[in-house]
């Protein structure tokens, strides 16, 4: 990572499905010259999963992030955040159960894309086999119906909850590595994406460029795709580079590549949270 990069605000510790303590991430970020570090544990959901935060970890997560902030004061600024799921009627970045705890920032993410009142045992960003099984069980194999529902939920979340950051905007493509399910230049796909982006432009939320799919080689692609970032730039949507780190050493994974991509579509700065509030900081050259 080039010097002067800024920060990372998408970080998972062992309190949810990541590895390492907040202090391990703080040391990694400091060693790489970062100025800001945000933690974004997966929220507690009212049903069990193997990746969200169990209720019993919530308090220790919040306490340990605050302790790391105090312990590293003067070396790095640390922020306490959450990656909140959007599931209509069940979970939202503005659900009192989440919002009222108080956070420095909130990432809003859609992982569950069942039809209204549907099956929440399945997420769009699981393994290839899980994705395929869910697509057939829940949508009868109709990938267009699933994808359109996914982007409708992203749009709804942006409008209702206005999260600070939209997590991995097009993660529904995770298992579409070789256009196995759809092509991104199909008119229906572009229309679904653009209408969600328009909702995000109205919400004022930041669209992150999330490097996790390349760093962990789960999709081989950044979220979102380059053409979507170009459209986002055209709509004046702010951006930021985030790692979705699940290990301390991945805290700046592929950041230089992501910054070059952002510059290529016309961005010259990224939005960062600092002790003085949100600021636009130049992307490194």
- Given the complex with Zn ion, which of 24 and 244 has the nearer CB atom? 244
* Other residues' Cβ atoms within 10 Å of the Cβ of residue 107: 28
CB of 109 to Zn ion, least distance (A): 4
Give the helix/strand (H/E) hosting 105: strand 105-109
State yes or no: cis peptide before 142, omega within 30 of 0.
no
- Given the complex with Zn ion, which of 83 and 164 has the nearer CB atom? 83
223 phi and psi angles, rounded to 5 deg: -110, 125
Query: Helix, strand, or coil here: 243?
Result: coil
Helix, strand, coil % over all residues of the chain, rounded to 5:
40, 20, 45
CB of 2 to Zn ion, least distance (A): 24
CB of 12 to Zn ion, least distance (A): 6
* Other residues' Cβ atoms within 10 Å of the Cβ of residue 218: 18
Query: Residues with Cβ < 8 Å from 118, sequence gap 6 or more?
Result: 138
> What residues line the site for Zn ion (CB under 5 A)?
83, 109, 167, 244
- Given the complex with Zn ion, which of 21 and 230 has the nearer CB atom? 21
CB of 167 to Zn ion, least distance (A): 5
CB of 4 to Zn ion, least distance (A): 25
- Given the complex with Zn ion, which of 77 and 244 has the nearer CB atom? 244
- Given the complex with Zn ion, which of 92 and 109 has the nearer CB atom? 109
Residues 284, 4: contact at Cβ < 8 Å?
yes
**Closest Cα partner for 80 from 26, 27, 41, 54?**
41
- Given the complex with Zn ion, which of 164 and 244 has the nearer CB atom? 244
Strand partners, 210: 223, 242
- Given the complex with Zn ion, which of 76 and 243 has the nearer CB atom? 243
Residues 153, 169: contact at Cβ < 8 Å?
no
- Given the complex with Zn ion, which of 83 and 250 has the nearer CB atom? 83
CB of 38 to Zn ion, least distance (A): 11
CB of 125 to Zn ion, least distance (A): 7
CB of 66 to Zn ion, least distance (A): 20
* Number of residues that this document lists for the chain: 285
- 120 half-sphere exposure, CB direction, 13 A CA radius: 15
CA distances from 192 to 18, 57, 153, 212, 228 (A): 31, 37, 11, 23, 11
Residues 242, 250: contact at Cβ < 8 Å?
no
């Amino acid at each position: 990572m080039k010097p002067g990069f800024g920060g990372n605000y998408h970080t998972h510790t062992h309190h949810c499905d990541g590895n390492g303590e907040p202090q391990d991430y703080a040391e990694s970020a400091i060693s790489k010259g970062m100025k800001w570090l945000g933690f974004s544990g997966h929220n507690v959901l009212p049903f069990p999963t193997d990746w969200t935060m169990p209720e019993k970890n919530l308090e220790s997560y919040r306490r340990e992030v605050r302790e790391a902030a105090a312990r590293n004061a003067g070396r790095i600024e640390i922020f306490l955040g959450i990656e909140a799921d959007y599931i209509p009627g069940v979970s939202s970045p503005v659900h009192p159960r989440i919002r009222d705890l108080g956070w420095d920032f909130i990432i809003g993410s859609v992982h569950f894309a069942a039809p209204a009142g549907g099956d929440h045992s399945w997420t769009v960003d699981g393994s290839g086999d899980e994705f395929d099984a869910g697509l057939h069980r829940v949508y009868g194999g109709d990938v267009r119906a699933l994808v359109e529902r996914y982007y409708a939920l992203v749009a709804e979340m942006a409008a209702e909850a206005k999260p600070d950051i939209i997590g991995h905007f097009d993660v529904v493509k995770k298992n579409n590595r070789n256009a196995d399910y759809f092509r991104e230049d199909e008119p229906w796909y572009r229309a679904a994406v653009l209408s969600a982006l328009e909702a995000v432009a109205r919400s004022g939320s930041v669209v992150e460029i999330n490097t996790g799919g390349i760093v962990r080689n789960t999709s081989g692609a950044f979220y979102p795709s380059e053409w979507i970032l170009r459209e986002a730039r055209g709509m004046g949507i702010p951006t930021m580079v985030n790692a979705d780190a699940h290990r301390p050493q991945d805290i700046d994974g592929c950041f230089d590549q992501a910054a070059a991509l952002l510059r290529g579509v016309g961005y010259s700065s990224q939005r960062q949270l600092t002790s003085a509030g949100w600021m636009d900081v130049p992307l490194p050259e």
